[in-house]
Copies of this chain bind each other. A is one copy, B any other.
Amino acid sequence: MIVGNQRPGQYTPCEQCPLRKRPNLREFTPDELEFVKQFKMDELRVESGASFLRQGTSSEHLYTVLSGWAFRYKMLDDGRRQILNFALPADMLGLQGTLMKEMEHSVEALTPLVLCVFPRSKLWDLYSRFPSLAFDITWLAAREEQLTDEHMVSLGRRTALERTAFLLLHLYVRAEEAGMTRNGTIQFPFTQQHLADALGMSLVHTNKTLKRLMATKAVRWQDRVFALADRSALAEIAGDDVTLQTGRPFI
């Protein structure tokens, strides 16, 4: 695990934040931008496969994903793992660890990850001086819950095929919003084991379900490249289409 900013030359100033250019994100006022600029204390690069937040520890920092993929997960004592959600650029991580006594989940990088680091100590300052930003943080927390609620329906009540279709569609749509797709195609960085741990199924059954799904021609997924061939067919199989909140904030 790499701690701290290893390449100071590549530090991204908030004025030039690449996330700012994305259409779906709400604008900062000049005041907010000025505050966020000094709220950001560092940039952290994490190599893929490293867990930079761990269940049972308290985190001094709050993070926003600048680039790359991560996932939140929980482990049981005997090694069973449940992936709770994936994190993409503009998503916030570690809020629980700064508000609560300790984190109850871990976060691992799926790809090389660049994170903006915010100190817990200035969070109070943010809440006092920028209620609009405080609002945004609450919004992000509520959205994260909305995503996990939806995933919970999959785990509890959708069939293996439905839930696999739904998760792939969900991830595709989020990646699309993050501008990571090209011609209905995206490089998914996870393995079938990750998918299995997210879907609450065994690896073998996930593999067979994936085959079954690909037999419908709605999607293709080979060599880590995923192609959404027929969205409405996939949504049909999933039993529901995926819509994301528009005009979302980030910090």
Q: Residues of A with Cβ closer than 8 Å to B?
A: 72, 74, 76-78, 80-82, 84, 95-96, 99-101, 104-105, 124, 127-128, 131-132, 134-135, 137-139, 141-146, 148-153, 155-158, 197, 199-200, 239-240, 245-246
Seed contacts A77-B240, A82-B156, A104-B149; 7 additional CB < 8 Å A-B pairs: A76-B158, A77-B239, A124-B135, A134-B134, A138-B141, A144-B145, A156-B199
Chain B residue with minimal CB distance to A143? B100
Contacts of A143 in B (CB 8 A): 100
Chain B residue with minimal CB distance to A55? B149
Cα of A95 to Cα of B143 in the assembled complex, Å: 10
Contact B153 A82 (CB under 8 A): yes
Contact A99 B155 (CB under 8 A): no
Distance in Å: Cβ of A169 to nearest Cβ of chain B: 15
Distance in Å: Cβ of A192 to nearest Cβ of chain B: 16
Contact B84 A142 (CB under 8 A): no
Chain B residue with minimal CB distance to A80? B157
Chain B residue with minimal CB distance to A103? B146
The list of the 5 closest CB pairs from A to B, nearest first, reads A156-B200, A127-B131, A155-B155, A141-B141, A82-B156
Distance in Å: Cβ of A141 to nearest Cβ of chain B: 4
Contacts of A144 in B (CB 8 A): 145
Contacts of A105 in B (CB 8 A): 149
Contacts of A80 in B (CB 8 A): 157-158
Contact check: which of B82, B134, B197, B246 meets A131 at CB < 8 Å?
Answer: B134
Contact check: which of B149, B153, B199 meets A76 at CB < 8 Å?
Answer: B153
